[in-house]
Amino acid sequence: MEVVPTRTYIKRKSNGRITIKSGNKAEYTMQWTIILLGVLSIMSFVFFDYTGLNLIKAITETAYNLKVMFFEPGLSHFGWGEALYQVGITLGLAVLSTVFGAVIAFFLSLLAATNLSKGWISKTIRVMVAFIRAVPTILWVLIFAIAAGLGSEAAILGMLFHSVAYLVKAFSEAFEEVDTGVIEALRATGSKWWHIVTHAVLPSTFTYLLSWTFLRFEINFSVAVAMGAAAGAGGIGFELFMASGFYFDLSEVGFITYAILAIAILLEVFSTRLKRRYFPTQGA
């Protein structure tokens, strides 16, 4: 366990007295952060618009809505076949954006890794992907929705952009963890750059690439649910939007929520099995 040393600050006042304070910058930063968050939380409650709010009625109606959603789920505007089809569309959006993103990110990350590329190339790619990551996925989707029109194309392009930036950072960091001795040994034998990648870098990092890719797929599935309505891409997310905002069918909202939850659980089970196969020590 690492012990953080506590600094002692001695300050002499104008009257000749000496004050001694103990602590460090991390402690003071944490204290002031907590105080600032507390003040902002109180201000939020103070400036909240309570006009027309009946707390007892709001709690009662919320409890009733939750009871209908989660204890009386059902379909009224589409059948089981349509529900499975819409889930398939959402999964398709996630798969396409993840697969294309992983392929593009793999080659870009080879150029972004400092041990495999020149310094200026690595820095340029890192700055570009950092900018792309800084913009939320939904904003990229809306940008492409304006440029390409509403539909699945805008959703896939928006998720693809953010997936590439996310995976380039993850992949390049994995590549940089490869033993430099192995790379130098191959270079000393006259191996070409691509030979080093295929015989040293890829075998050492394949399990990490697979793990990061599947993690991004889980993220893209969640994003695809929201993008189905925001970008007009369809899928189960669009049906959820229609049931909640257009039909106000709480039973249908509950059914769709359970369907999304079931898919998320299946993805988590599949991810756990992958970890047990390729990361035996982590899956145990």
Residues 34 and 132 in one domain: no
Residues 84 and 34 in one domain: no
Residues 26 and 157 in one domain: no
Q: What is the average per-residue pLDDT within 7-15? A: 54
The whole domain housing 163 covers 75-283
Domain contains 70: no
pLDDT for 224-281, tens place per residue? 888 777 666 778 888 888 888 788 888 888 888 888 888 888 888 887 787 777 665 5
pLDDT for 135-183, tens place per residue? 888 888 888 888 777 777 888 888 898 999 999 999 999 998 888 888 8
Domain contains 85: yes
pLDDT for 13-56, tens place per residue? 555 565 555 556 778 888 889 999 999 999 888 888 777 777 88
- The total domain count for the chain is 2
Domain contains 68: no
Domain contains 55: no
Tokens of 279: 């990361």
Residues 91 and 195 in one domain: yes
Q: What is the average per-residue pLDDT within 184-192? A: 83
Instruction: Return the pLDDT at 12.
Output: 55
Residues 251 and 209 in one domain: yes
Domain contains 17: yes
Residues 168 and 35 in one domain: no
Residues 116 and 194 in one domain: yes
Per-residue 3-state assignment (H helix, E strand, C coil) for the chain: CCCCCCEEEEEECCCCCEEEEEECHHHHHHHHHHHHHHHHHHHHHHHCCCCCCCHHHHHHHHHHHHHHHHHCCCCCCCCHHHHHHHHHHHHHHHHHHHHHHHHHHHHHHHHHCCCCCCHHHHHHHHHHHHHHHHCCHHHHHHHHHHHHCCCHHHHHHHHHHHHHHHHHHHHHHHHHCCCHHHHHHHHHCCCCHHHHHHHHHHHHHHHHHHHHHHHHHHHHHHHHHHHHHHCCCCCHHHHHHHHHHHCCCHHHHHHHHHHHHHHHHHHHHHHHHHHHHHCHHHHC
Residues 197 and 154 in one domain: yes
Domain contains 59: no
As a whole number of Å, the end-to-end CA separation of the chain is 25
Residues 196 and 91 in one domain: yes
Instruction: Return the pLDDT at 2.
Output: 45
CATH number where 196 lies: 1.10.3720.10
Residues 24 and 129 in one domain: no
Residues 33 and 120 in one domain: no
Instruction: Check residues 50 and 110 and name the one with the higher pLDDT.
Output: 110
Domain contains 58: no
Domain contains 52: no
Contacts of 129 (CB under 8 A, 6+ apart): 108, 112, 164, 165, 168, 169
